[in-house]
Amino acid sequence: MIPQRLQFLVSPDLPPAQLADVFSAAGHKLFLVGGSVRDAFLQRTVEDFDFATDARPERIAELLDSWADVVYTVGATFGTVAARKDGLTVEVTTFRDEVYRDDSRKPHVSFSDDIETDLSRRDFTVNAIALSLMDMKPIDPHAGLADLAAKVLRTPLEPTVSFSEDPLRMLRLFRFQATLGFKPEASAVKAVSQMGDRLGIVSAERIRDELSKLVVAPAPGKALARVVATGLAAHFLPELPSLAMEQDPHQRHKDVLAHTLAVVDKSSPDLVLRLAALFHDIGKPDTRQFGPDGVSFHHHEVVGARMTKRRMKALRYPKEVVDDVSRLVFLHLRPHTLKMGWTDAAVRRYVRDAGPLLHRLNELVRCDVTTANPRRQRAIQNQIDELEKRIAELGAKEEISRLRAPIDGFQVMGYLGIGPGPRIGDIMGLMLERRIEEGPYTVGEAYAMVREWAVGQGIPDPGPPPDEEE
């Protein structure tokens, strides 16, 4: 009898039942494996389906082509063929036995003929359970179901063997700790501490993808702390362990690493926001100074933004993500510099500088408050409340989300009779600055400003502005 939690897998409308028929008719075995099985037993949403088969990649592609809307063979060299049908993604992989070469970022893949060997080469026992699609019985040679029940992360083989085969599994150990809430087995944690340098053969792109999955987990702080404690972070994110600085003996300045992980946990599981929380204080070690009043970190947001950009580029994050995260790091102290109240000009400038990151920036600033002092915490939160209130009030009067001068650069060039160049940039900057400081002004006032500026620059007087622009 099929357990209730697995009943949905036999639905004729889903890939498991459909592909079982396709592969069985062709004389091949097919098993549901990996995260699909794990999540089904945990009653988590199964979004993608992973299968293992004795068919070789070329044959897999042929069989999927007869069933899917589209087939992807980009991973066929490593035994995996992917496909999409009716909006669902599947991956079908030949039973395999794979080992990394000592100096290679790509695995040497040899194929196997039985599911047990394939399962032994998987990362963790909770992912080394297969379901026979003929009778829906689990194949569990490494007691993965027991580990699911105990919420333990354990490797099917000795941890040193599993991690040598694919060193990324060391980071994945902590990713699953964060996403599943499971506890890594002590021997696995010990192995990470001993062989973290093995991560050096893994591509930056694969490390980036694991880190991204880790940081958007419900509460990644404890897992990230283990990434640091085992020494693994030193091999791909050395700025993080550097935050575990000695505390200020005079002011008892809080542990910057512990503070950072608390900010990460408090923030919404949005990749850009979580990465900004992770990086927001990485400039502190390089800017720390001790003085008569205790420790200070002057301009750590400036230094931190540069360090963030450099590290994220090394991890091959997309340019737009790098720019957004480093911008948030650069701006995260901005609200604290305006303690005397928010003037209209200050609000406009803040909104202009934050741009589309405004809501993320406000949340980052709020989450950055981890003090145990209730009065200080309340004061800072009230400050952000006041800022958001002022943004709403000013936004009701004028368009502050798209601050710009009343006329554009083409109109200025046409009026002055000159081409593009630094001078046009200068006057456009001056007009924007006036818009920020004084609020909205008319097209006529803008032309008058351009005319006065031009005369002062030695540009021939362009005369009255065109009537149609008034």
Q: Report how far apart, in Å, the C-alpha atoms of 49 and of each of 18, 36, 82, 125 are.
A: 12, 5, 10, 18
What is the pLDDT confidence band of residue 297, given thresholds at 50, 70 and 90? confident
Domain match, 12 and 126 both: yes
Q: What is the mean pLDDT of residues 207-221?
A: 97
Q: Which two structure tokens, joined as six digits, stand for 104?
A: 């290679």
Collapsing DSSP to helix, strand or coil, 107 comes out as: strand
C-alpha dihedral sign at 37, 190, 192, 245: positive
Per-residue pLDDT of 142-180, as tens digits, reads 999 999 999 999 999 999 999 998 999 999 999 999 999
Note whether residue 331 is domain-resident.
yes
Q: Encode pLDDT of 116-125 as tens digits.
A: 999 999 999 9
Does one domain contain both 248 and 377? Answer: yes
Share of the chain above pLDDT 70, in %: 92
The yes-or-no verdict on residue 468 having pLDDT over 60 is no
* Cβ contact 81:92 at 8 Å: yes
Lowest-confidence region among 38-47, 289-298, 396-405: 289-298
Residue 412: Cβ within 10 Å count: 23
pLDDT per position as a tens digit, 334-359: 877 665 567 899 899 999 999 999 99
Q: Examine the pLDDT at 249 and tell me if it is beyond 70.
A: no
Strand partners for 130:
139
- Range in 105-114, 237-246, 302-311 with the lowest mean pLDDT: 105-114
Read out DSSP for 384-420?
HHHHHHHHHHHHHHS--TT---SS-HHHHHHHHT--S
Whether residue 284 is found in the same domain as residue 335:
yes
Residue range of the domain that includes 257:
241-397
The residue among 150, 175, 203 that closes a domain is 150
Task: With cut-offs at 50, 70 and 90, classify the pLDDT of residue 252.
Answer: very low
Q: Whose CA is closest to 333, among 401, 390, 283?
A: 283
Q: How many structural domains is the chain composed of?
A: 4
Same domain, residue pair 180 and 290:
no
Tell me what pLDDT residue 340 has: 58
Domain end call among 397, 428, 451: 397
**pLDDT of amino acid 100:** 60
DSSP string across 20-86: HHHHHHTT--EEE-THHHHHHHHT----EEEEEESS-HHHHHHHHHTT-SEEE-TTGGGTEEEEEET
Residue, of 261 and 4, whose pLDDT is higher: 261
Residue closest to 191 by CA, chosen among 170, 172, 171: 170
HSE of 92 in the Cβ direction (CA atoms, 13 Å)?
31
Region 301-324: mean pLDDT is 96
For residues 119 and 163, state if they share a domain: no
Last residue of a domain, one of 185, 220, 236: 236
Q: Select from 55, 40, 31 the least CA-distant residue to 141.
A: 31
Are 224 and 256 part of one and the same domain? no
pLDDT at 104: 65
Residues 108 and 192 reside in one and the same domain: no
Instruction: Kindly tell me if the per-residue pLDDT of 216 is higher than 90.
Output: yes
Q: What is the mean pLDDT of residues 413-440?
A: 94
The residue-averaged pLDDT of 442-466 equals: 92
Let me know whether 256 and 383 are in one domain: yes
Q: 245 and 373, same structural domain?
A: yes
